């Protein structure tokens, strides 16, 4: 599988669900099947959420006599191939987890270090579409040595498999990840709180179609933030072109959670084929202005208030790449309306604490 073909195949397929943030090791095949069903019934699948990804703890602690992974009998009695067949029957894709070390991070499964070709072939035979590849128990071998071994193994396996490098930003994978995988974690593990929102931005210049900076899975719907904070969290991931990895229980979403995850206009910014990651173009005290180009001579704009109080935030045209005299039509992506006023030179909005406003700007007719 050549790199160009892999990049084309996986260019826009970035919306996914992953089991870890909500279920941790408490997963089983029923949860995965019900999640696949829920992606269909909630309409998430039609918005691009196509991957159902099993994280750590799906296998027995030991391989079988032939050296193969053994799906955990108590939780995955039907096996992974049967689960993949079920997920595929829904028009979705199945992802799985392994580790570029001797054990996975939970210490409950063997890793793939030294077994790369065998495991890649197994995953392909099972019908796997995505591999999250972690970084624990690695004998101190550098990621830039370990991860390309699996890249080559997947290329020989005969099936397109999205390769997610989960090495936590250890050796700045944005600088070397594109020939190796389709996305690369740029940070440590996420937690469900407001403090972690933008550690990915410094690597913006390295993201492009087929290779994405990954600041970890979304926490939207897991209960640790306010709605405004979750809206800001989702908006930053979207404008950053980060993989949208849903990490909540989609079988039991609140109205607010569904509203955030199904915002088609925000998702469209994330999936824009130009594939340019937005940057933080201004930051003064507690307020931030993010901006990045979109197809069709448009600009995505995000205003963020990190402070404890209400705040007016202004985006200046020269900060976001526009001529000061440009007349712009402005679409509010969370209010789903085009503002009546045409804007020249700047745009100002009033934001609540930890709140945000996300817009798409285009030349006024």
Give catalytic residues, as residue numbers: 134, 189
Tell me the backbone φ, ψ of residue 250, rounded to 5 degrees: -70, -10
Nearest to 218 by CA among 196, 186, 201: 196
Contact 211, 203 (CB under 8 A): no
Q: How many residues does the chain have?
A: 365
Contact 337, 330 (CB under 8 A): no
Q: How far apart are CA 266 and CA 238, in angstroms?
A: 6
Q: From start to end of 166-232, where are the E strands? A: 183-185, 212-214
Nearest to 21 by CA among 247, 249, 185, 250: 247
**Three-class DSSP category at 276:** coil
Tell me the backbone φ, ψ of residue 326, rounded to 5 degrees: -65, 135
Contact 36, 26 (CB under 8 A): no
Torsion angle of the four alpha carbons 222, 223, 228, 232, in this order, in degrees rounded to the nearest 10: -30
If 0-12 CB within 10 Å is exposed, 13-18 middle and 19+ buried, where does residue 14 land? buried
Is the alpha carbon torsion for 68, 69, 71, 72 positive or negative?
positive
């Amino acid at each position: 599988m050549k790199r160009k073909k892999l990049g084309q195949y996986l260019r826009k397929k970035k919306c996914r669900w992953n089991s870890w943030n909500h279920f941790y090791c408490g997963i089983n095949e029923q949860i995965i099947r019900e999640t696949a069903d829920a992606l269909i019934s909630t309409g998430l699948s039609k918005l691009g959420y196509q991957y159902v990804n099993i994280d750590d703890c799906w296998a027995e602690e030991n391989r079988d006599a032939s050296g193969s992974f053994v799906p955990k009998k108590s939780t995955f009695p039907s096996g992974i191939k049967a689960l993949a067949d079920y997920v595929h029957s829904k028009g979705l894709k199945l992802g799985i987890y392994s580790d570029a070390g001797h054990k996975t991070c939970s210490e409950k499964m063997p890793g793939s270090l030294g077994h790369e070709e065998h495991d890649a072939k197994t995953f392909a035979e099972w019908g796997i579409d995505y591999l999250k590849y972690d970084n624990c128990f690695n004998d101190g071998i550098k990621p830039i040595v370990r991860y390309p071994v699996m890249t080559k193994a997947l290329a020989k396996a005969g099936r397109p498999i999205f390769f997610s490098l989960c090495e936590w930003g250890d050796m700045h994978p944005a600088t070397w990840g594109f020939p190796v995988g389709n996305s690369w974690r740029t940070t440590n593990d996420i937690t469900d709180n407001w403090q972690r929102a933008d550690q990915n931005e410094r690597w913006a210049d390295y993201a492009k179609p087929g290779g994405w900076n990954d600041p970890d899975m979304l926490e939207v719907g897991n209960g640790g933030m306010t709605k405004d904070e979750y809206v800001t969290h989702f908006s930053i991931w979207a404008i950053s072109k980060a993989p949208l990895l849903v990490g909540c229980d989609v079988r039991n979403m609140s109205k607010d959670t569904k509203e955030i995850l199904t915002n088609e206009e925000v998702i469209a910014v994330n999936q824009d084929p130009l594939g340019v990651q937005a940057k933080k173009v201004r930051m003064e005290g507690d307020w931030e202005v993010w901006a990045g180009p979109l197809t069709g001579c448009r600009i995505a704009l995000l205003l963020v208030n990190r402070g404890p109080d209400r705040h007016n935030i202004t985006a200046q045209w020269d900060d976001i790449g526009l001529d000061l005299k440009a007349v712009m039509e402005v679409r509010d992506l969370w209010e789903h309306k085009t503002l009546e006023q045409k804007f020249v030179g700047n745009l100002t909005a009033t934001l609540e604490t930890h709140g945000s406003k996300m817009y798409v700007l285009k030349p006024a007719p």
